[in-house]
Amino acid sequence: MSNEFEGQGVVVSGAAQGIGEAVARYFVARGALVVAFDLDGDLLERTTSSMGSDAVAVSGDVAVRADVKRAVDACLEHAGSIDIMVAHAGIADVRPLLEVTDEQWRRVFAVNVDGVFLCTQEAARVMRPGGRVVVTASTNAIQVEENLVAYSASKGAVVTFVRAAALDLARHGVRINAVAPGVVNTRIARWVIEDPVLGPEYLKKIPIGRFGEPDDIAGAVGFLAGPASSYMTGQTIILDGGQTLGIPLDDDGNRSDNLPGDSS
C-alpha cells in the first residue's frame, strides 16, 4: 500500500460502519492519522480498535457544533493538523411527503445539511492552505425517488453547498468536492438491496449490473482528497454504476423497466 497520505490528519464522520468505515480504512492504509467520528459510540469503538493506533474514535453528533469541534480538536492533537475533512455522515427517512412530520424533516436536514456545514466550517477554520473537504451527497440530489423527499432535498442542498463553499474557501487554499453514490451495500440501503422484489427490480436500472460497495466510494474520496484532483473544486462525482444515465435494455432488447424499447 502507498503512503500517499503519510502523517496527514483526517476526520471522517459516520465512520463506524459502511462507506465511512471504508473511507477511514482507506486513509489509515495509506499512512494517514484518522479521527473516526460517529454517533454510535459502541460500534465506533469496536470498528476503530480494529484499525490500529493510527485511528482514534470520537463519538458525537454531526448536527452539534461542540461535538464536531471535539472531533477536529482531537485530530489536531492526534496528527498535529487537520488536512482532510470527510463530511460523510447522513441519514435517510423513507415515507410519503404527506406523512413527514416537522421533527423528521428537521432531523434529516440537521444531520445531512447542518452536519456538512458544521464539519466544513470547523475544519476549514483551522486548516492550512492545501486543506481538502470531501462531502457525501447522493444521486437523489439529481434523480429523485418517491418517499424520499426530505432526504433528496437535503442532498440537493449539499451539492449546492459544495459549489458555494468552494468559492468561499478557494481564497483560503481549501478545496471542497463531493461524491454522489447510487445504491451502495450498507445498512442505509438494505431496505432496497435485500427486498426480494425491489432489489432485483432496482438492479435492472443499473447498467453496470451490481450495487456499489463501500470501497467503490472510498477510492473516489481518496482521489478528491489527493493531489490528482488538485485543480478541482466545487464538483460532485457521481458513482452509481451508470444508474442516472438512463434505462438500459434487457437481454431481449426491451427496456428493463418494462416500457417498450427500440431493439433495432
Ligand X SMILES: NC(=O)c1ccc[n+]([C@@H]2O[C@H](COP(=O)([O-])OP(=O)(O)OC[C@H]3O[C@@H](n4cnc5c(N)ncnc54)[C@H](O)[C@@H]3O)[C@@H](O)[C@H]2O)c1
Q: Select from 11, 39, 119, 224 the one that contacts ligand X (CB under 6 A).
A: 39
Q: Which is nearer to ligand X, 83 or 114 (CB)?
A: 114
CB 61 within 8 A of CB 16: no
Q: How far is the CB of 21 from ligand X (least distance, A)?
A: 7
Q: How far is the CB of 57 from ligand X (least distance, A)?
A: 12
Reading the block at residue 21, the C-alpha cell is: 468505515
* Residues 240, 253: Cα–Cα separation, whole Å: 22
CB 175 within 8 A of CB 228: no
Q: Which is nearer to ligand X, 79 or 217 (CB)?
A: 217
Q: Which is nearer to ligand X, 131 or 212 (CB)?
A: 212
Q: Which helix (H) or strand (E) holds 74?
A: helix 65-79
Q: Is the dihedral of CA 245, 250, 254, 259 positive or negative?
A: negative
* Residues 247, 258: Cα–Cα separation, whole Å: 10
Residue 219-238 contact track with ligand X, rule CB under 6 A, x = bound: --------------------
Q: Select from 28, 133, 184, 224 the one that contacts ligand X (CB under 6 A).
A: 184
Q: Which is nearer to ligand X, 102 or 252 (CB)?
A: 102
Q: Cα torsion at 48, 51, 54, 59 (round to 10°)?
A: -10
**463519538: which residue's cell?**
59
Window of 59-67, 96-104, 118-126, 226-234 that interacts with ligand X by CB under 6 A: 59-67
Q: 151 catalytic, yes or no?
A: yes
Q: How far is the CB of 185 from ligand X (least distance, A)?
A: 7
Other CB atoms closer than 10 Å to residue 2's CB: what's the count?
9
Which one from 26, 151, 202, 231 is the annotated catalytic residue?
Answer: 151
Residues with active-site annotation: 151
- Interacting residue ranges for ligand X, rule: CB under 6 A: 13-14, 16-20, 38-40, 61-63, 88-91, 111, 115, 136, 138, 181, 183-184, 186-189
